[in-house]
Amino acid sequence: RRTPRASQTHSNRYEMSAFTVATSAIGVTAKVTSKIAAKKTAAAPLSARAAVSGVSAKAFAARSHAKVASKAAAARVATVFAADKPDRSNADAPDAGKGQKIMILGGDGYCGWATALHLSNRGYEVAIVDNMCRRTFDDQLGFNSLTPIKGIHERVRVWEEVSGKRIQLYVGDICDYEFLSAAFQAFEPTACVHFGEQRSAPYSMMDRSRAVFTQTNNVMGTINVCYAIKEFAPECHLIKLGTMGEYGTPNIDIEEGYITIEHNGRTDTLPYPKQGNSFYHLSKCHDSANMLMCTKTWKMRTTDLNQGVVYGVATPETTMDDRLVNRLDYDAVFGTALNRFAIQAAVGHPMTVYGKGGQTRGFLNITDTCKCIQIACDNPAPPGEMKIYNQFTEQFSVNELAALITEAGQKLGLDPQVINVPNPRTEMEEHYYNAKHSKLQDLGLEPNLMKESILESLLTTVVKYKDNVDQRLILPAVNWTESASVGKTIAKV
C-alpha cells in the first residue's frame, strides 16, 4: 500500500485515504497493522444529560404487546412460505457457492466477519479487505468489545485450522484506490460485498471532524469500489449494505427501494424518498444515489440492502472455536439497541430507553444477515439494474425490546430493570412505521425470529463475558444538538 509522505502539501492531501486524513484532523496517527497497540485515551466526563429520570412503566406494560407482535410476525412468515419459493434446500451444502469468488469489504467487522465465515463454510471462495479502522475507533475512544476478539490474521489462521478452508486477506484502505485496484486484480471477484464503512450514527455526530470522516470515508470508498468494478471486474456484482435509517420515519408505508408516483396526470417509478437523520445515514443516502447513477451509466450489476438493526453474536461458524468469536459492542456509540439491553440486563445495569421508547425500527438476527448476503450473491442483478431489498425480519419499538429482554432475563434468574434517559438524538419518539420487507423472503429467506430461545442464547453469551463490561461506557454521551467543531473524546470516569 502506498503511504503518503509527511511533506505532502495541503493541495495534495486528496491522495491520502479518508481514514488517514480524518484521524489526523483529530490528532490520531493512523497506522494499519495486524495488531493495534495504541493506548486508549480519555478526556471529558460523561454527559450529565444521561442521568436517570425514572422507571419506565410503559416499557413493562409493553410485554404483552411484544408477544403479540412476535406471534403476528411468525404468522405472516408462515403465510409467506405457503407460496411457491425458490429451492434453497442446498444453500447450506459445503459446495453451495462453488465457482463464486466473494470479496468482503470490512470483513473484520461485526457483520462482515460472520458473513465471511458463513460463505466460506459453504464453498464460496472468500477474500477479506479491511484496514482495521473499527479497532482503531475503540482505541481512540477507550471502548472495547465485550467478547475477546482476536486479531484478523489470527482469526483467518484459526478458521483454516478449524474448517480446512482458506480466506484470503488484503489489509488496506478502500479509499486508497491504488491498493483497492491491486486487490481487485489479484482476487478477481465475481461479487463484492461492501460492509467497509464507518457504521455508527452517534460517532458521525460527535463533532465536525468525525462527521467529515464519516462522509468522506463512506462516500469516497463506495465511489472507488464502483470504479474498481468498472475497470477491473465489469461483471462483478456489487452488494452494498445500506440502512433502513435512510428512509427515516415517514407517515406512509415504506416500500422496498422504489415507489410509483402519480403527479399531474403522469406516472413514474422513482427511488423512495430518503430522510437520513445523521451524517452517517446521509452518507448511505449518497451511496445509494451514486450507485444508481453508476449502475445505469456503466451497466453495473448492483444490489442495495437496506439493513435493519442487527442483534446477536453467535453463528454456527463463530461457535466452532472460541478464537473465532465475533465482536459484541455495548457502548452508547457502537452498540445496537438489543445487544446493549442484553448486556445491561446481564450486569445489573438498568436498560436505558431513550426518551418515550416508542421509536420503532426493523430488526434481524446476525444469522439472517449472513443468509441475506448469500441470497444476494446467488441472485445477481442484471446489468444496468440496481435491486433494492429491505433487509430485516421483524419490527419492534424500543419499549417492546426492553420488555422482551425482561421476560427472557427473568427465566435465567436475572432481574432486568428499565429506566428512561433523555433522548440524545433528534428524532420522533412516537410515530407510524410500516416498512415492506418481502423480497428476500420471496427469494427463499427463512427468518430466525426473535423468539425466547434466541434471546436466552444471547443473554447466556453475555453472562459468560460480563466481567469485561465497563459500566462507564453504557450511558449516552453523544448529543445531536451539541455536535461541535472541536474534536471530542469520550472519557471513562
Cα–Cα distance measured from residue 340 to residue 356, given in angstroms and rounded to the nearest whole number: 17
Residue-wise pLDDT for 67-91, tens only, equals 555 455 445 444 433 345 688 999 9
Q: How far apart are CA 376 and CA 383, in angstroms?
A: 15
Q: Of these residues, 23, 214, 216, 243, which one is catalytic?
A: 243
Query: Using an 8 Å Cβ cutoff, are 318 and 326 in contact?
Result: yes
Active site (annotated) includes residue 284: yes
> 235: Cβ–Cβ under 8 A, 6 or more apart, which residues?
190, 301
Q: Cα(first)–Cα(last) distance of the chain, in Å?
A: 39
What's the pLDDT score for residue 453? 83
**pLDDT in the model for residue 12:** 40
Catalytic residue (choose from 110, 124, 177, 284): 284
From the first residue on, what is the mean pLDDT of each consecutive set of 10 residues in the chain (493 residues)?
Answer: 40 43 41 35 36 38 49 46 70 97 98 98 98 96 95 98 98 98 98 98 96 98 98 98 98 97 98 97 98 98 98 96 96 93 94 97 97 98 98 97 95 95 96 98 96 90 94 91 78 49
CB-based contacts of 417, cutoff 8 Å, min separation 6: 55, 350, 351
Burial class (CB in 10 A: 0-12, 13-18, 19+), 89: exposed
Based on the residue annotation, tell me whether 387 is a catalytic residue of this protein: no
What are residue 394's phi and psi, to 5 degrees?
-150, 160
> What global pTM score does this model have?
0.84
Cα separation, 26 vs 8, in Å, equals 18
Closest CA to 228 of 176, 151, 280, 266: 176
Instruction: Check if the beta carbon of residue 291 is closer than 8 Å to that of residue 238.
Output: yes
371 contacts 379 by C-beta, under 8 angstroms: no
Identified catalytic residue from 124, 280, 433, 465: 280
Has 243 been annotated as catalytic? yes
